[in-house]
Structure 1
Amino acid sequence: MCDDPHDHEVESIMSSTSCQSCTIWSMGQPKLLEPREDVTVEQAQARIDELYASGIPFFTKQAIQELWDQIQSKPTSGDRIVTKDLTGASLEWKVKLGKSIELRSSEDRDARHEFIYKILGVNYRSAAHLKGGFRWGEVGSEAYAPMQLMHQLCKADSSSENKETIPDDPIGERDDVARDFQKSAEDWENTETCKNLKSILRSFASGHPINKIIGFACGSLALPNNHHVSVQTALLVTVRNWLKERYNDSDVSCYIQDPMNTSVDKEVLADIGFEMIDDPRGWLEVDERSFVLSVAPNVPVKEIIADIARPAIAVWYKVEEEDTASTDPSTPRVREMIEGYDLHEFASDNDDFKTVVIYIRKSEIPPTPNPDGTFFTPTGKSDKLDSE
């Protein structure tokens, strides 16, 4: 039950689970600022299919930038954030930062715990997620919104004067985390997988202009069960070192974006040359001169990238020939994007990358986006090249 008896906004509570932690998110229902004709679920799903088939981007850098600017303005409880959906309608989302809510315990339904609306987040929804997201058979105001504002809920220490939040999992000490990562990075450098990666980069990507590295959903080095995190981060360091050698130690911008990252991660990552950035800034950093890594994310990374950029290199799960039920699905737009890339296997001796592949753009010349920032033409083909 919310602590504000006059707050009757409909919201749903969801859990985002990984091998490291279970994060609780609250998603409210926005206010539709323009009137819209009532439709059935079937009609709404058909409309989503129609919008997708038309080539309209579900994700654009302009929309992400507008949302990021509002989040950066540090809104407080009671403020409003406005976004637009796929139809152009304006949605108004209520900010609840600092407010509290009581939730039942999953272990004991009679027990209640106080949680604080702590951090603003974004729920990214592909076409498949939108079509399957109609709650209780109703078409809500957020029906056509691929980006949905949400709040991370953190358990509160009710006995503390300022209601400090209690972390779900122990966060490692900075020196311990740094030392453990250094050991993992050294182990990674000695693997055949790492050697294969370096060989592939030297052989097939030496002519691609790359000045930026972005890692999405890599996890937290400071939380338990961080083996996969350490290996992915070590891979990014390998790529960074390769680029610095190639460009005679010139600056390469290196970013990591994951809502699970902590203040300890920020310090440790800074020591190895990476900047920890908040969602959704990472999408704004991706461009045609980027190296992107994303392994088993809880968001549709491939679909977002397909709409907004054509990075030089993408390392992620192999794109399937058919749609699959996944948080990061292989959609028609993703498959169309990948037509412009060559696939390289890791030939991995490392279980972390058994199902991960390297996509290197066929053209060394960075493609030029359309005037609206997309890469899809009316005929459905993409990747027109700069004439330079």
Structure 2
Amino acid sequence: MESTDIFFPQFLPYSFPYYSYIIEWKNQAFNNFVASVQPPLDAQFKEIQEVWERSSTCALLKQKLTFQKGFRKVNKVLCFALGDMVPTFRYGRYGTLYQARGAKPDIMRCSMSQHAVALTIGAAFRSTTAANVEILAHNPDYSPASKALLKSLGISVVGEHGAGGFSEIVDDSVVFFYYPNFPLSEIIADIARPAMIIRSDRTYVLDNIDRGIRCFPYPANAETPRVREMWKDYTEYDFEIMDRDRHALTGLKSFKIHIRNDITGGPCNSERKEKN
């Protein structure tokens, strides 16, 4: 066992400034500071990706996207807030508590599963279009290990130092997100009307209670009036994770597929929502 395995979680970075023998300090982001002790993620991701690709849910999603993609030429898939695959809290003062509860592996698998879905979405649109469909991922908190993995998978990281990912949202794009901790739906509503939006089926309203627990202090990605107005331009389809896959697909919940009305050929009608 390396000394860093014991040293980092227990002492750094909280006690680091108090060591008298440090003669210089380099100002850098915490993810870059701990990059040297982050292991490669390729083997872990490959295992989770294989579980996803063998699932019946993955096969069904490919079928759904294959049916829909002929309506519109898509040139990019934009992924937002899919999470860093090396959670930084493993080095923090609460790291031991989270690991004891088993949270760290769950969060890593959750993020990896979502990125595996993103690859499936991109591959589905690449299969029949002559243009190269880019997969772009926006998350300013990606660690160096996550960036290296995404690069090897053909996913480009954008918006590392700002809002670069939002500038990529156009009418001929697909947007995919699960659990953003910022008002992403409102941002999309103000920028463009992507051909397709794929998102978690969890819906929050500012004055509502979810599962008996009020979101504190407010839900980050709430269904505000202008977001609900945007959904009128889309037809909504419910996509359920199949029962036989629920245990294996860690972190993946049912989601919604929104397809713009000029592609589907009709206005959205809540009573016409389709289920897989």
- Residue 203 (structure 1) shift: 2.0
User: Given the superposition, is the C-alpha separation of residues 330 and 169 from structure 1 closer, same or farther in structure 2, using an over 3 Å criterion?
Assistant: farther
Which residue, out of 155, 165, 168, partners 1:285? 168
* Structure 2: gaps of 5 or more residues: 1-12, 88-103, 209-217, 265-276
CA distance in 2, matches of 1:157, 1:265: 31
CA distance in 1, matches of 2:226, 2:179: 19
Which residue, out of 87, 100, 114, partners 1:232? 114
CA distance in 2, matches of 1:160, 1:232: 43
What's the TM-score, normalizing by structure 1? 0.49
CA distance in 1, matches of 2:205, 2:27: 47
Matching of residue 333 in structure 1 with residue 232 in structure 2: no
- Residue 193 (structure 1) shift: 2.0
User: Given the superposition, is the C-alpha separation of residues 173 and 203 from structure 1 closer, same or farther in structure 2, using an over 3 Å criterion?
Assistant: same
Q: Which residue of 1 aligns with 2:67?
A: 203
Q: Which residue of 2 aligns with 1:173?
A: 39
- Residue 276 (structure 1) shift: 1.1
The equivalences for 1:123-162 within 5 A come to: 159=22, 161-162=24-25
Q: Which residue of 2 aligns with 1:144?
A: none
CA deviation string 1:316-351 (max 9, x = no partner): 133759544410001111111111112122221346
Q: Is the 8 A contact 1:319 1:330 kept in 2?
A: no
Which is richer in helix? 2
- Residue 286 (structure 1) shift: 0.7
- Counterpart of 2:199, as a letter, is W
CA deviation string 1:84-119 (max 9, x = no partner): xxxxxxxxxxxxxxxxxxxxxxxxxxxx958xxxxx
Q: What is the identity percentage for the equivalent residue pairs of Structure 1 and Structure 2? A: 26
Q: Is the 8 A contact 1:216 1:294 kept in 2?
A: yes
- Where 2:70 maps in the other structure, the secondary structure is coil
Matching of residue 221 in structure 1 with residue 85 in structure 2: yes
Structure of larger gyration radius = 1
Which is richer in strand? 1
CA distance in 2, matches of 1:294, 1:283: 13
The equivalences for 1:43-62 within 5 A come to: none
- Counterpart of 1:329, as a letter, is A
- Where 1:293 maps in the other structure, the secondary structure is strand
User: Given the superposition, is the C-alpha separation of residues 301 and 157 from structure 1 closer, same or farther in structure 2, using an over 3 Å criterion?
Assistant: farther
Q: Which residue of 2 aligns with 1:245?
A: 127
* Structure 1: gaps of 5 or more residues: 1-111, 115-154, 366-388
- Counterpart of 1:219, as a letter, is G
Q: Which residue of 2 aligns with 1:302?
A: 185
CA distance in 2, matches of 1:269, 1:280: 19
User: Given the superposition, is the C-alpha separation of residues 160 and 271 from structure 1 closer, same or farther in structure 2, using an over 3 Å criterion?
Assistant: farther
User: Given the superposition, is the C-alpha separation of residues 314 and 169 from structure 1 closer, same or farther in structure 2, using an over 3 Å criterion?
Assistant: farther
What's the RMSD between the two structures over aligned residues?
2.7
User: Given the superposition, is the C-alpha separation of residues 319 and 343 from structure 1 closer, same or farther in structure 2, using an over 3 Å criterion?
Assistant: farther
- Counterpart of 1:258, as a letter, is N
- Residue 202 (structure 1) shift: 1.7
- Residue 262 (structure 1) shift: 1.4
Equivalenced residue count is 211
CA distance in 2, matches of 1:274, 1:348: 24
Q: Which residue of 2 aligns with 1:273?
A: 154
Q: Is the 8 A contact 2:200 2:253 kept in 1?
A: no
CA distance in 1, matches of 2:219, 2:192: 21
- Residue 163 (structure 1) shift: 4.0
Matching of residue 360 in structure 1 with residue 259 in structure 2: yes
CA deviation string 1:194-234 (max 9, x = no partner): 12211211223321221111111111123353111111101
Which residue, out of 42, 46, 52, partners 1:188? 52
Matching of residue 342 in structure 1 with residue 205 in structure 2: no
CA distance in 1, matches of 2:79, 2:23: 36
Q: Is the 8 A contact 2:109 2:251 kept in 1?
A: no
CA deviation string 1:151-188 (max 9, x = no partner): xxxx86863622466559786322xx011111111111
Q: Is the 8 A contact 2:111 2:251 kept in 1?
A: no
CA distance in 1, matches of 2:27, 2:122: 38
Q: Is the 8 A contact 1:205 1:360 kept in 2?
A: no
Q: Is the 8 A contact 1:316 1:357 kept in 2?
A: yes
- Counterpart of 2:73, as a letter, is P
What's the TM-score, normalizing by structure 2? 0.68
